[in-house]
Structure 1
């Protein structure tokens, strides 16, 4: 079964929009991190879709693998930072952290 490129790009745009909405509207640090991961996954989906569109070149798949590795490292570091901020401020709500710091 061959899925058209337009359908994959539409799914990627929906994932990207949901990720942006989560980053902009939510105040909990873990939800913001999940939104960032959705944005990374939308970009990966685009890269793999365009790579599949031109099967001679594997550059999109290789770059997608690199993005997955960077996202995993980013998630580990970001969760460590969130845990440290929670220990210090006793909250994971980003708006409360900003107001307590001032």
Structure 2
């Protein structure tokens, strides 16, 4: 039981990093960032179950989920406003310093 949770977290983390590195679309990059945040959650729960008396892993996992949801809302709002002004969400075409 201990190894499967860590392997699952490592796999989701690798998929998230690969998606973040290779994506050119801002929304896809935000989805990959969400995968990276959600890859941490099974690791905390696995370690919390390994140390049976500690409940900090579950509590910290809920905190990570709340922060990831706030990050998704903020990131999608920024992507939407950039799309409205530039008509594109491609990362390689954006230069936000020049308006």
TM > 0.5 fold call? yes
Unpaired runs of 5+ residues, structure 1, are none
Whole-angstrom distance in 1 between the partners of 2:87 and 2:69: 26
Aligned pair in 2 of structure 1 residues 94, 100: CA closer, same or farther (>3 Å)?
A: farther
- The equivalent of 1:29 in structure 2 is 26
Deviations 1:23-47 (A, max 9, x none): 1110101110110110111101111
Instruction: Quote how far apart the aligned CAs of 1:5 are.
Output: 1.0
Q: What TM-score do the two structures reach when normalised by structure 2?
A: 0.93
Aligned partner of 1:14 in structure 2 is 11
Give the SS at the match of 2:54: coil
Post-superposition offset of 1:7? 1.4
Structure 1 CA distance for aligned equivalents of residues 39 and 96 of structure 2 = 32
Gaps of 5+ in 2: none
Aligned Cα RMSD in Å? 1.7
User: 1:63 and 1:27 mapped to 2: Cα distance?
Assistant: 31
**C-alpha distance in 2 between matches for 1:24 and 1:18:** 10
Matched, 1:92 2:92: no
**Rounded Cα–Cα distance in structure 1 between residues aligned with 2:92 and 2:98:** 10
Q: Write the distance in 1 (CA, Å) between the matches of 2:98 and 2:27.
A: 19
- Tell me how far apart the structure 2 counterparts of residues 82 and 65 of structure 1 sit (CA, whole Å): 26
